[in-house]
Amino acid sequence: MDHYQTLGLNRSANREEIKEAFRKSALKFHPDKHSHSSDDARNEASLRFKRASEAYQVLIDERKRADYDLRLRSAGFPRWSGKGPQSSSSSSSSSSSGYYRPPRAPASEFDPGIVFRWLMRRRTLIELAVAGALLGAYIVMEDSLEKVWKRNNAGKSFEETIESIKGGKSHKDSSK
């Protein structure tokens, strides 16, 4: 279902145009207006009202609309352009119809745009910041532990240090 086509809008419609198109659609298909119609007409009007409401909720919210537009483009939605809905029976030649259809990369080709969009999501940025903070804390702790080790065991080899630790334990055990 194309939300733009549902409301009879072009892809570059602004908020006021979306509101006006929804208002007209809501007045035309509201279930209360069709309460005395046949069951089929009432069901059809109810369905079209629900679709118009869903389209309005998506298109009026900037984030939802951007996500919806991105999904349309990445799915290769037919007739994608800023010029509005067209019937599928119109000319398929993009040069004669005035439609821009972005080139689609083969499925096996790497698309850096997808990776960039994933990296720029708020959740991904937060996760990267937390991972960076944890890594930084680990590096600081490791460096601090190494400095403490060197200060307490200056001039000793590793084997001498281990022997002194063992000697310390045996000394404690014998004093108890």
The answer, as to whether pTM is greater than 0.75, is no
Contact of 102 with 82, CB cutoff 8 Å = no
Maximum CA pair distance of the chain? 100
Contact of 72 with 52, CB cutoff 8 Å = no
Which one is predicted more confidently, 101 or 86?
101
Let me know if domain 1-84 sits in CATH 1.10.287.110. Answer: yes
pLDDT in tens, 35-57: 888 888 888 888 999 999 999 99
